[in-house]
Amino acid sequence: MPPSAGPACATCRAKSRRCDRGRPICRRCITKGLQCGGYPDKFRFCGLASRGKWKDRDAPTGDQEYPSSNNSLPLRDRRGSQKESAEKQGTRTEREDVTQEGDFPGSLPTIATPDSTDNMPYQGLSISPSPQSLTSDDQSQIDKILVSTETETLLTHYDNVICPHQIAQYTDSNDNPYRIYVLPLAYEHIGLLYAVLALSACHLGRLKGDQHLCESVAVNYRLQAITALGAAIRKGFTVRFDDDELDSVFATIQTLLLYDICESGISEHGAHISGAMSICSQLMLSHRLTNEHERTVFFLGNLVWLDIVRAFAAPERLCFTQDLRERLVSLGNLKFEAVNGCPRELVLLIGDLLEHAKRHASGNLGLQQYVDIVQSSIQKLYLWDSSLCIYPNDDPLWPLVGEAFRHACILRALRLLDVTEPAETPRIQDSVIAILNAVSKVPAESPLIELMVLPIFMAGVDCILPYSQHYILIRIADIKARSEMSNMASMQLLERVWKEREKTQKCDDQTNVSWMSFTYDNELMHQHDYLII
């Protein structure tokens, strides 16, 4: 970092670690779940910049046009009706006080550098109350945020644009789980509200090419969401969560992960999923969950799948246990496939295999036993029949989704057996071709194409011919055009693998180029999560 970049932030200086000098808040502090202590003479940042390139920038207005939705009421008026639809999921009790600085929801809280950071995610987070806007009630703060025009715009964007693309449905409807679960909770829990606003600002800013929304408004909301999430988790370890409080924490974690997917596809340092698992372990949710906890099962099921996706890059990062996966699968419904694509039977197969890979990597499973388990799992994957699976609806394209995920799992399993196996090997190419054939039959206008990012990526990293690589790019572009998500991490990894493989092919070297090697950073103690989804 050149001298002109200025000094490190107070937190990085205190911990003697590298600072990225990000303004107004060090990004390294944000991603590590720390409170940035700010820079010399500028230890507090209140509101948006009043000078420089952000001076006089307008907040989004509420008169923008959005795709039509079955919801005709404004968000403020729908608050009560949505809450009623979610009341069967649990009732809300006592709230924890959270105080913020500034009258504008886009402003940053006053930052207090923590004295220490324990191993528990978000442990070191804290908020210093400002005498200018001290409040003893979360709800009054939420009510103040909800009357903002900016909030109305961002919540409308989340409701009408983001929600429909989080689940494979041909027509948007009021039974969308992100609409009926997330929004009512966000109206009652400030951390989730901030997370939704952050995701919406990031997504809308990218659509509009508005850096102010992406780099200032979205980042500010994200910081406040992480801060409130830390406070909620700390409370949960001393006071029993009620159903709404617990679900709001899981919903906040998933929304922050969706923010990371929208922004880059990389969740830095992997704190969110690990935090969710620490809560499950502390509360022994694998034993407490029942059929009555439909909303909790929905959020946790999605986090289980995201955990498996990050373990595709590094099995040792797998966090959720097979017992909890099996419990959630037994309690879940077909919304899981509609959101994540991968059939739950395959989720259990690949999850169990990755867990054994994790045990082997840690030295807790011998080589021969591990090889036998991997070979047995590969055989089960080859025998699994996608036509016999139960899918969310009778769309004839669903078995193609199942087939694509089956071969994506086979490709990952083969690399667990031998990471050096050349991409040119017939059984590798058989699965690549099977995925490409399945994907080719799913038209760009089908919502099911949005579920196919991981299979397309897994086929792409082992594509050895230019025309197949070109086809991969076409299908990723189709998904991006429909979902309006960038899939940036998958594109970057594909380009690096293809570039490196081109070099080896010129030298007549068929050594495999492992995409997993590009997801590991020797300088990081806690590796980033690559969310190819």
Structural domains in the chain? 1-43 (4.10.240.10), 57-263 (no CATH)
> Could you tell me the two tokens for 491?
């594109």
Residue 39 confidence (pLDDT): 63
Residue 38 confidence (pLDDT): 74
- Among the ranges 44-48, 122-126, 175-179, 436-440, which has the highest mean pLDDT value? 436-440
Q: Tell me the whole-structure pTM to 2 decimals.
A: 0.77
Is a pLDDT exceeding 70 seen at residue 125?
no
Nearest in space to 338 (alpha carbons), one of 173, 156, 160, 159? 173
> Could you tell me the two tokens for 332?
């879940």
- Among the ranges 59-63, 169-173, 264-268, 424-428, which has the highest mean pLDDT value? 424-428
Distance of CA 176 to the CA centre of its chain: 18
Query: φ, ψ for residue 39 (rounded to 5)?
Result: -115, 160
Measured between alpha carbons, how far apart are the two ends of the chain, in Å? 33
Residue 72 confidence (pLDDT): 39
Helices (H), 266-397: 271-283, 285-288, 294-313, 322-331, 335-340, 344-361, 367-383
Q: Across all residues in the chain, what is the average pLDDT? A: 81
User: Which residues have C-beta within 8 Å of that of residue 283, sequence separation ≥ 6?
Assistant: 236, 241, 246
Distance of CA 193 to the CA centre of its chain: 16
Q: How confident is the model at residue 173 (pLDDT cuts 50, 70, 90)?
A: confident
Nearest in space to 162 (alpha carbons), one of 494, 440, 483, 500? 483
> Could you tell me the two tokens for 348?
């259990």
Tens of pLDDT, residue by residue over 368-424, are 999 999 999 999 999 999 999 999 999 999 999 999 999 999 999 999 999 999 999
Residue 77 confidence (pLDDT): 52
Residue 275 confidence (pLDDT): 86
3-state helix, strand, coil in the chain (%, to 5): 60, 0, 40
Average pLDDT of span 184-204: 95
Percentage of the chain modeled with pLDDT above 90: 59
- Residue, of 139 and 346, whose pLDDT is higher: 346
Peptide bond into 164 cis (omega under 30): no
Residue 6 confidence (pLDDT): 64
Residue 84 confidence (pLDDT): 52
Residue 511 confidence (pLDDT): 85
Residues 73-83 as b or e (16 or more Cβ within 10 Å = b)? eebeebbeebe
Q: Are 69 and 159 in contact (CB under 8 A)?
A: yes
Tens of pLDDT, residue by residue over 289-345, are 999 999 999 999 999 999 999 999 999 999 999 999 999 999 999 999 999 999 999
Tens of pLDDT, residue by residue over 144-161, are 999 999 999 999 999 999
Distance of CA 475 to the CA centre of its chain: 22
